[in-house]
Amino acid sequence: MAFHDVMERSARGELIILDGAIGTEIRRRGGDTGRSDLAVIHMLESPGLIREIHADYINAGADVITANTYDCNRHALILDRLDGDSAQYLTRMAVELAIDARNSSGVEGVLVAGSLGPLASDYDPNDVPPFETCLSDYREQVQVMVEAGVDFVLAETAAQERSARAGVVAASEAGLPVWASLLAGPDGTVASGASWGEAVETLVSAGAAAVLINCTMPDAITLSMNELGRQNQAPVGAYGQGALPAGHGWRFEPSMTPDEYAKHAQDWVDLGARIIGGCCATTPEHIRYLRSEVTLA
Least separation, in Å, of the C-beta of 86 and Zn ion?
Answer: 23
Nearest residue (CB) to Zn ion, 22 versus 41:
22
Least separation, in Å, of the C-beta of 296 and Zn ion?
Answer: 25
Q: Which residue stretch of 40-48, 62-70, 191-199, 275-283 sits at the interface with Zn ion (rule: CB under 5 A)?
A: 275-283
Nearest residue (CB) to Zn ion, 252 versus 289:
252
Count CB atoms within 10 A of the CB of residue 264.
20
Q: Which residue stretch of 130-138, 180-188, 223-231, 280-288 sits at the interface with Zn ion (rule: CB under 5 A)?
A: 280-288
- Cβ neighbors of 274 (< 8 A, separation 6 or more) are 10, 13, 14, 15, 16, 235, 236, 237
Nearest residue (CB) to Zn ion, 206 versus 243:
243
Q: 161, 194 in Cβ contact below 8 A? A: yes
Which H helix or E strand runs over 183? none
Q: Which residue stretch of 3-11, 52-60, 100-108, 279-287 sits at the interface with Zn ion (rule: CB under 5 A)?
A: 279-287
For residue 269, report the phi and psi dihedrals to the nearest 5 degrees. Answer: -65, -40
Least separation, in Å, of the C-beta of 103 and Zn ion?
Answer: 26
Nearest residue (CB) to Zn ion, 157 versus 202:
157
Least separation, in Å, of the C-beta of 152 and Zn ion?
Answer: 19
The only residue of 279, 287, 290, 294 in contact with Zn ion, by rule CB under 5 A:
279
Q: How far is CA 224 from CA 194, 242, 251, in A?
A: 11, 17, 25
Residues 36-95 that bind Zn ion (CB under 5 A): none
- C-alpha of 100 from chain center: 19
Nearest residue (CB) to Zn ion, 215 versus 238:
215
Strand-by-strand arrangement of the 152-158 sheet? 16-17, 275-278, 236-240, 210-214, 178-182, 152-158, 111-116, 64-67
Least separation, in Å, of the C-beta of 79 and Zn ion?
Answer: 17
Output the 3-class SS for 24-76.
HHHHHCCCCCCCCCCHHHHHHHCHHHHHHHHHHHHHCCCCEEEECCCCCCHHH
Pairwise CA distance, residues 235 & 225, whole Å: 12
Nearest residue (CB) to Zn ion, 168 versus 279:
279
Total residues binding Zn ion (CB under 5 A): 3
The only residue of 280, 287, 290, 294 in contact with Zn ion, by rule CB under 5 A:
280
Residues 169-228 that bind Zn ion (CB under 5 A): 215
Least separation, in Å, of the C-beta of 143 and Zn ion?
Answer: 25
Least separation, in Å, of the C-beta of 279 and Zn ion?
Answer: 3
Q: Which residue stretch of 27-35, 163-171, 224-232, 271-279 sits at the interface with Zn ion (rule: CB under 5 A)?
A: 271-279
Pairwise CA distance, residues 22 & 279, whole Å: 8
- Contact positions toward Zn ion, by CB under 5 A? 215, 279-280
